[in-house]
Structure 1
Amino acid sequence: MSLARRSLLAAPLLLPAAGARAEAPWPERPLRLIVPFPPGSTPDTTGRAVAAHLSRTLGQPCLVENRAGAGGNIGTDAVAKATDGHTIGLTINGPLSTAKALYPDLPYDPQRDLAMVSLLVRAAQMLVVHPDVPAQDLAGFVAHVRANPGKLAFGSVGSGSGGHLAMADLMARAGLEMLHVPYRGFPPATLDLVAGRIQAMVIVSAGILPQIREGRVRALAVTAERRIPQAPEVPTLAEAGFPDAASYAWNALIAPAAMPAARVARLAEEAGRALAEPQARAALEAGGFEVVASGPAEATRFVAAETARWSGLIARLGITAEA
């Protein structure tokens, strides 16, 4: 038998082996999307919009699992440690950009253990004060605090939270001295602000707009780069004399670092399509969020910049998660 004929006869025997080396279709079973916050939270709302779209387009169900605790660190850690190839997550600023600086024993490293899939949405925060504070604008507030060092208190939803850091940043820029009062969540902080037990707070705009419209608190500035449509009369920090101080609350889609780049890119593409759907976009915008879906590279650069900025502030001011 000729060598050529023996080669032809042997060729079919090689095909199964070659096929076995080809990557299997993905996902081959249901996806799990971990949201490290309770049902009804903004990350949960965003996550469910993305999960519903993925379920329709990827040929497998995408199931949302709420795993709250430790400011989002518990659920984010679960994503970082997942090895099944079918787990992704949706989290916020803290677990990705400030947790490592605030928690020395953080069980995961955001930059080493996670792949940034896409930045999804962001929301401006607002500096608001109780009506008894004799300031109609940010300049007046700065003057009032400077005239009363250490006598005014500001609240936040927790030490090291976005609102705490944004206020700490403003205080450092303006040379202000105020007492920080951390709370466990928005409701008690907002109640004490409305009651006048604290005088100021930086809070996500959607969480305080009803109180602003009712005259129970006064808005002095918005932390966005531009004025927001929900409160176009409120100037930005830059307009009020503090350039480069913009900050946002944001949500990002993440995956374990070992997830193949092609899958990460596909997830980013589909997440963008999910948030472009009119119903999802309208719901998020009604809640004060702006859709800013990005690709993996852009998300990675953004989170790296956020980490450098806020970790530097935390170190410079000696901020901890306990105080």
Structure 2
Amino acid sequence: MNRRHSFHALAAAALAVLAVPAAHAQAWPTKPLRIVVPYPPGGSSDIIARSISQPLSEALKTTVIIENKPGANGNTGTDFVAKANDGHTLLLCDVGALAITPSVYPKLPFNPSKDLKGVGMLAYSPHLLVVHPSVPANNLQELVALSKKQRIDFAVTAIGSAPHVAGVAVEKATGAKWEYIPYKGGSQAINDTVAGQAHVLMNGMLATLPFVQSGKLKVLGVSKATRVALLPDVPTIAEQGVKGFESGTWQGVLMPANTPQAVLEKVSAELTRIIRMPEVRQRLTSQGAEVYTMSPTEFSSFFERERANWAKVVAQGGVKME
């Protein structure tokens, strides 16, 4: 083979290699997609999954199935996705909660930084600090004072969850005394607080706001840096003495680490387009969630920052699971 033919052969080979990811993304998906929500139905992640599933099905021309796989504070469903190798399984979860797990659980069966890749962020909603209407407190200071006089049961989606760690941070900062009551997800924690089985709840605004609007729960504070438009008269927790306090529920999508980058980019682009659709955006913003998109690269950087930030909070609060 002469030099000219050798050059053309090498160039053709290089182009063929470069074309593989693009071709893979074009051919994908080859079967139905599964969106795994690692919490029970009715929570913030579940609400968003059901908002995007039909538009995603139409965009990718395949069936999209939502599977709720709750257990172990979201770790059961997350582990399932981390070990999936079919290229068609997605995880839709609270990214903040996922960033907390390495600090809270010393023996996780997966490593979220190594076994999963971020596809994209979808939405953010701050936590609402709410109480059963019978609780004689109208702000955080009154609730703290009440907790020093009587037992206050604080419902959390699970021990080590984002609302639990946020509750611990407020407790440490204010001198409050909560008795934490763990549940298997946000919807169960909400239902028991509405029923008066628990006194206090901190949970994502997206799932909690309807109960505030119906008068079934009383809101005392919002965990955002600034007040929210839907609750303009409700002060932030930071305004009520916990300086710099901010927490919330970040919903995002991840896939197993062995997923080709071209597929991640394709799914990310479609999800960004779908979550920004006027009807989807309106549905979420009317319940207190903000559409908040990120590319896979931005998502990875955000996750590592969250992991480092929550590690400090967990260490200060002494939250650990065996």
On whether the aligned pair clears a TM of 0.5, the verdict is yes
Shift of 1:172: 0.9
* Partner residue, 1:282: 282
Is contact 1:120-1:292 (8 Å) kept? yes
**CA–CA distance in 2 between the matches of 1:203 and 1:78?**
25
**CA–CA distance in 1 between the matches of 2:92 and 2:188?**
26
* Partner residue, 2:65: 64
Go from structure 1 to structure 2 and tell me whether the alpha carbon gap of 1:177 and 1:279 turns closer, same or farther (over 3 Å shift).
same
| Alignment map for 1:190-269 (pairs within 5 Å) | 190-269=190-269
**CA–CA distance in 1 between the matches of 2:190 and 2:16?**
59
Identity of aligned residues (%): 33
Post-superposition Cα deviations, 1:165-187, rounded to whole Å, max 9, x if no partner, equal 21111011112222212233445
Shift of 1:251: 1.1
Shift of 1:211: 4.0
Q: In structure 1, what residue type is equivalent to 2:77?
A: G
**CA–CA distance in 2 between the matches of 1:54 and 1:96?**
24
SS of structure 1 residue aligned to 2:137: coil
Q: In structure 2, what residue type is equivalent to 1:96?
A: L
| Alignment map for 1:95-244 (pairs within 5 Å) | 96-145=98-147, 147-148=148-149, 151-186=151-186, 188-244=188-244
Matched, 1:307 2:300: no
Post-superposition Cα deviations, 1:264-283, rounded to whole Å, max 9, x if no partner, equal 33332221111111121122
Q: In structure 2, what residue type is equivalent to 1:104?
A: P
Shift of 1:321: 4.4
TM-score (norm: length of structure 2): 0.82
* Partner residue, 1:292: 292
Count of aligned positions = 315
Is contact 1:31-1:88 (8 Å) kept? no
**CA–CA distance in 2 between the matches of 1:300 and 1:244?**
24
The structure having more radius of gyration, on CA atoms, is 1
SS of structure 2 residue aligned to 1:26: helix
- Structure 2: gaps spanning 5 or more residues: none
Is contact 2:25-2:262 (8 Å) kept? no
**CA–CA distance in 2 between the matches of 1:89 and 1:185?**
16
Go from structure 1 to structure 2 and tell me whether the alpha carbon gap of 1:62 and 1:307 turns closer, same or farther (over 3 Å shift).
farther
Q: In structure 1, what residue type is equivalent to 2:266?
A: R
Q: In structure 1, what residue type is equivalent to 2:31?
A: P
* Partner residue, 2:320: 320
SS of structure 1 residue aligned to 2:232: coil
RMSD: 3.2
Is contact 1:33-1:51 (8 Å) kept? no
